[in-house]
Homo-oligomer: A and B are copies of this chain.
Amino acid sequence: MKVNGKDYRTVWMEGNTVCLIEQNLLPFEFKIFRAENYRDTCMVISTMIVRGAGAIGATAAYAMAQAFLEGDNDAGFIENARQEIENTRPTAQNLFYAVERVYRAGQLSTGQFSTEHAAKEAQQIADEDADACKKIGELGNELIKDGDKIETHCNAGWLAFVDYGSALSPVYAAHRSGKDVFVYADETRPRGQGARLTAWELKNENVPHVIIADNAGAHLMSQGKVDMMIVGSDRIAANGDVANKIGTLEKAIVAQHYGIPFYVAAPVSTIDFGCASGTDIPIEQRHQDEVLYQSGPNANGKLETILTSSPGSDALNPAFDVTPARLVTAIITEKGIFNPEDLAVLNTQNSTTMD
């Protein structure tokens, strides 16, 4: 997608170097990080210079490809590198899946290693992620009418994947196909991914949008100013329950109250068929300081962290919530648009890609 008019992916390879948008600097600075070896790339993942399931998976795949290059047929080196890469984000399912695929691809039946096969597989993983997101955009675009006003929560844009994104992919497809679309980007407290990342993406793609406080959603819906909501997901249970950024559940309830379609867009890899329902998804409690403090540049461009709440009071900070399937109008995947109750048909089709 476009940044300052130029096409980018979140992560790509140039020779033996993994190049990444430094997402931790966004939206205030746009910079490319160049990871010259697999250890640099591990650091990029563990320090969250890259974030988002799809983007992490591709980065880990590239890191594994780098390890084959650097390992020079040394089985111990490659095995050790694999473990290092896997330890960067111990709960990222896409990461394990990607590393495993590249690791296997790089081992020939002769017992020797192939850096070429490993690199090719890593590139394919990145391309598959981009292709899946692009397809989500094409399918989702069919749900969008000219003139639609679309509310989204958090950032499920291309920054979380290799390209295109999930929730924003249909928006980009609609915009590029000439439809007049307008986006309300929920600020998404406490971390502000909507105000920071979604707004940044939309501005760079010239998609008309405004940032709104999360509190403003119901008011706008009550006034008929929202035609649909599209959100992404961190994990979808087999029964169609959707785990996503805190506040998603609230929006789904309000959207249903006003009869506004509530779509979830996610690649099939987000569906966890090993997870029967949303009650099996643990909700991460994050540090209270994310609620109590805020960071950003002051008028002189100096990054400051300020206290935005009453000193000495504690905060509770659940990071995700679970939206029950009955509140979800449809789930937009690269394999089609599904009623949340009908996801099971995807299980056998994609058993090879699930872990």
A residues in contact (CB < 8 Å) with B: 26-28, 184-185, 187-190, 192, 195-197, 199-200, 202-203, 209-220, 222, 245-247, 249-250, 253-254, 257, 283, 291-292, 294-299, 304-318, 321-322
Contacts and interface: CB of A to CB of B under 8 A. Distances in A.
A203 B291 contact: no
B216 A318 contact: yes
21 contacts: A27-B309, A187-B309, A189-B213, A196-B310, A199-B309, A199-B313, A203-B313, A210-B314, A210-B315, A211-B310, A211-B313, A212-B317, A214-B215, A214-B247, A216-B246, A216-B317, A217-B250, A219-B246, A219-B283, A222-B322, A298-B304
A219 B306 contact: no
A8 to B, nearest CB: 16
Given A189-B189, A222-B321, A311 B246 contact: no
A308 B294 contact: yes
Given A215-B250, A253-B218, A28 B311 contact: yes
B253 A257 contact: yes
A261 to B, nearest CB: 17
Contacts of A220: 316, 318
B253 A291 contact: no
A263 to B, nearest CB: 18
Contact of A317 (B28, B197, B213, B283): B213
Contacts of A309: 27, 187, 192, 195-196, 199, 211
Contacts of A295: 306, 308
Contact of A291 (B212, B222, B254, B292): B212
B297 A218 contact: no
A203 B312 contact: yes
A213 B291 contact: yes
Q: Which 4 A-B pairs have the closest CB atoms?
A: A215-B247, A195-B309, A218-B250, A27-B310
Contacts of A310: 26-27, 195-197, 199-200, 203, 211
Nearest to A309: B195
A305 B314 contact: no
B211 A189 contact: no
A185 B247 CA distance: 16
Contacts of A196: 308-310
For A27, A210, A245, A304, the residue with the greatest tally of chain B CB atoms inside 10 Å of its CB is A304
Contacts of A215: 188-190, 214, 245-247, 250
